[in-house]
Structure 1
Amino acid sequence: MMNDATLRKIDLNLLLAFSVLMRERNVSRAAERLLLGQPGLSAALRRLRETLDDELFVRVGRGLQPTPRALSIAPAIEDALSGIERAIRPPTAFDPASWQGEFRVGMCDNLESAFFGPLAARMRQLAPGVRLVSVAFDKRDAARLLDDGAYEFSISVHDEPASWHIRAPLFEQASLCIYDARHLTCATPLSLKHFANAPHVTVSLEGTISTNVDVALARLGHRRQVVATVPRFSALPPTLRAIPAIATVPESIARCMAQLHDLTISAPPFELPADPVTMLYRRVDQADSRSVWLRRLFVEVVTEALEASGCSIGVSTAACCFDKVPLAEAV
């Protein structure tokens, strides 16, 4: 165990001066290597002698001869300085192509449906030794799960973060209506009358029926009839294929479902506020090269996926501020 009282008496710069003097055995050359004047190095040597109670170096001709005490402690001091230099050296660049390990990300199911597949595909290209795991979570538990190490980051509409977390904006996600035109005959875009009179399906983990859609409708003097509520977005397509109904869902998942299940999408016939989708990660991971690489990869995948699906939303430039290095290079 380290003796703090002993270490407080010594200045690390004095040990460096000792190491250089041992190698050079000459005050002038040692002072030049240390970028010190000879008086400064002489003062450092005097402090060393007082601290270690030994002369350490004796002038012999134009050079210095170490004392037995200096010779005995030199290897340990050299090892200690080498260890410190290695410890503070810039970290080894992260190489995704050779890294073997696991990345875990937290995504609610609508974002998972839109982005997990493209993320997995890019991961296979750039980091073939990595296993990608999507972790299901309730956004109310996002911060706790992050602190517990359940995932590298979570993607959701997050609440105000703690001081030890960072919430980076990704995009403002609008809502779209989706339905099966073979069951529900409506002109596109939907009119307010058709929207208000049609049956509706909602998505709620807690089974809640009322949403911001109902608030907006109430302001216009209308109410809708909710005939079914499912806990996950994955249950929507078969439900909409089975009954004539409308679901109002985030744009990214709406477009994904429309392509995969031959459903029809339409803008809502009234204004709905967009949801701010954000990335939540730990402040301690902000500069970690492995974590930075993963966050940037996700941002690029989201950008490409949104563009490919024709979404009207764009990724915020603020989300890209945590790194500047191309993905093909180490960070």
Structure 2
Amino acid sequence: MDIKDVDLNLLVAFAAMLEHQSVTRAAESVGLSQPAMSAAVGRLRLLFNDALFVKTSAGMQPTPRASELAEPVRRVVEAIKTEILPLPAFEPLTAAKQFSIVTPDIAEVHFLPRILAHFAEVAPQCALRTLSMARHAAAEALASGAAELAIGYLPDLQKAGFFQQRLFRNDYVCIVRAAHPVIGERLTMKTYLAASHAVVSPDGREHLLEQALQRRGVARRVVVGLSHFMSLLPIIEGSDLVATVPRDLANICVHHGGIRIVEPPFKSPAVEVHQFWHRRFHQDAANVWLRGLVQRLFGA
């Protein structure tokens, strides 16, 4: 006998016959018609070359061969029911897992405090790390499982093989130090162009603001160029420079430093912030839990 010739449904029928010793009752227990169960018993007899169940005054009694098979068949059926068929669950209260998220430094400051606070409450043994990498590497990290999610403006991940979920929409505002000597509550284009600017250009990222300003023919006087948004906080707080940054970062800077927000003198581009994951992990229980948490905390 070759395993490829074995229909596992026949083992379910076999186990039902062992338990009920009646074709009718066995059929009812597994949701089959009586003729279908009779046909299954016939196939079992051919498979094992044995009568297996014989009609007696006490019901359909197992033959010695069927009795020998009883315990192994029960184990196989139970293993399929309890270990193979159920979808794996993720229990955050007891899980000890390290999650990895691909995201730039600006998103670290925006997302991590709330996620970690939630971890402490509902997933106390889980850990979190963030990865900063070029866009092509982000796709590879998600596909390989090196990272569960990528969060941010990542248009290169809007392609086959990846799922995405919109979290919120982000526009740009200007930040200046609270006691800026020239810029008050409003900012005109003349003042904006006359000011000295700090500009952040993260490596390997889309620079939507720069593209929008170029289309408008706006040329700023850039005094300092940076690779990381979080370097702005001490620079803006201690100078008369202006920085045009995503609104969520501006809100963080205002909260932590002597900085205020001024609306820009032009209509700023809007950035759609998404979370991305690879189709390999679309039904992975831990991944489902993490992205559900991110959506609940940050979804618009």
Fold shared per TM-score above 0.5: yes
Shift, 1:192, TM fit:
0.5
Shift, 1:38, TM fit:
3.4
- 1:8 aligned counterpart, secondary structure: helix
The answer to whether the Cα contact below 8 Å between 1:203 and 1:230 also exists between their aligned partners in 2 is yes
Report the residue type matching 1:32 in the other structure. Answer: E
Partner of 1:48: 44
Q: 1:82 to 1:226 in 2, by over 3 A?
A: same
Report the residue type matching 2:167 in the other structure. Answer: L
- 1:17 aligned counterpart, secondary structure: helix
Count of residues paired in the alignment:
299
CA distance in 1, matches of 2:237, 2:56: 96
Q: 1:58 to 1:181 in 2, by over 3 A?
A: closer
Partner of 2:123: 127
Query: Pairwise CA RMSD of aligned residues?
Result: 2.5
Report the residue type matching 1:131 in the other structure. Answer: A
Matched, 1:25 2:21: yes
Q: How does 1:259-274 map to 2 (within 5 A)?
A: 259-274=255-270
Instruction: Give the counterpart of 2:170 among 155, 165, 173.
Output: 173
Q: Which moved more, 1:64-73 or 1:262-271?
A: 64-73
Q: 1:140 to 1:269 in 2, by over 3 A?
A: farther
Matched, 1:138 2:134: yes
- 1:279 aligned counterpart, secondary structure: strand
Residue deviations 1:55-76, cap 9 Å, x none?
2122223522322221222211
Q: 1:78 to 1:171 in 2, by over 3 A?
A: same
Q: 1:195 to 1:79 in 2, by over 3 A?
A: same
CA distance in 1, matches of 2:92, 2:27: 43
Q: 1:289 to 1:149 in 2, by over 3 A?
A: closer
Q: Which moved more, 1:49-58 or 1:267-276?
A: 49-58
Residue deviations 1:153-173, cap 9 Å, x none?
111111243432211111111
Shift, 1:10, TM fit:
2.4
Instruction: Give the counterpart of 1:295 among 268, 291, 294.
Output: 291
Instruction: Give the counterpart of 2:197 among 175, 200, 221.
Output: 200
The answer to whether the Cα contact below 8 Å between 1:200 and 1:245 also exists between their aligned partners in 2 is yes
Partner of 2:252: 256
- 1:90 aligned counterpart, secondary structure: coil
Structure 2 alignment gaps of length 5 or more:
none
Shift, 1:226, TM fit:
0.9
Q: Which moved more, 1:162-171 or 1:251-260?
A: 162-171
The answer to whether the Cα contact below 8 Å between 1:179 and 1:264 also exists between their aligned partners in 2 is yes
Matched, 1:76 2:72: yes
Report the residue type matching 2:182 in the other structure. Answer: T
Matched, 1:155 2:151: yes
Q: Which moved more, 1:251-260 or 1:279-288?
A: 279-288
CA distance in 2, matches of 1:98, 1:221: 56
Partner of 1:283: 279
Partner of 1:189: 186
CA distance in 1, matches of 2:135, 2:159: 14
Q: Percent identity?
A: 32
Residue deviations 1:106-125, cap 9 Å, x none?
22111111221122112212
Shift, 1:36, TM fit:
3.5
Shift, 1:92, TM fit:
5.8
CA distance in 2, matches of 1:243, 1:76: 78
Shift, 1:229, TM fit:
0.5
Compute the TM-score of the two structures, normalised by the length of structure 2.
Answer: 0.89
Q: 1:39 to 1:241 in 2, by over 3 A?
A: closer
The answer to whether the Cα contact below 8 Å between 1:174 and 1:250 also exists between their aligned partners in 2 is yes
The answer to whether the Cα contact below 8 Å between 1:96 and 1:126 also exists between their aligned partners in 2 is yes
The answer to whether the Cα contact below 8 Å between 1:135 and 1:150 also exists between their aligned partners in 2 is no
Shift, 1:227, TM fit:
1.1
CA distance in 2, matches of 1:286, 1:207: 26
Q: 1:218 to 1:37 in 2, by over 3 A?
A: closer
The answer to whether the Cα contact below 8 Å between 1:199 and 1:227 also exists between their aligned partners in 2 is yes
CA distance in 1, matches of 2:43, 2:29: 19
Partner of 2:100: 104
Shift, 1:202, TM fit:
0.8
The answer to whether the Cα contact below 8 Å between 1:176 and 1:254 also exists between their aligned partners in 2 is yes
Residue deviations 1:132-190, cap 9 Å, x none?
22222333422112123232211111124343221111111101111124345212221
Report the residue type matching 1:228 in the other structure. Answer: V
Structure 1 alignment gaps of length 5 or more:
304-314, 316-331
CA distance in 2, matches of 1:220, 1:60: 93
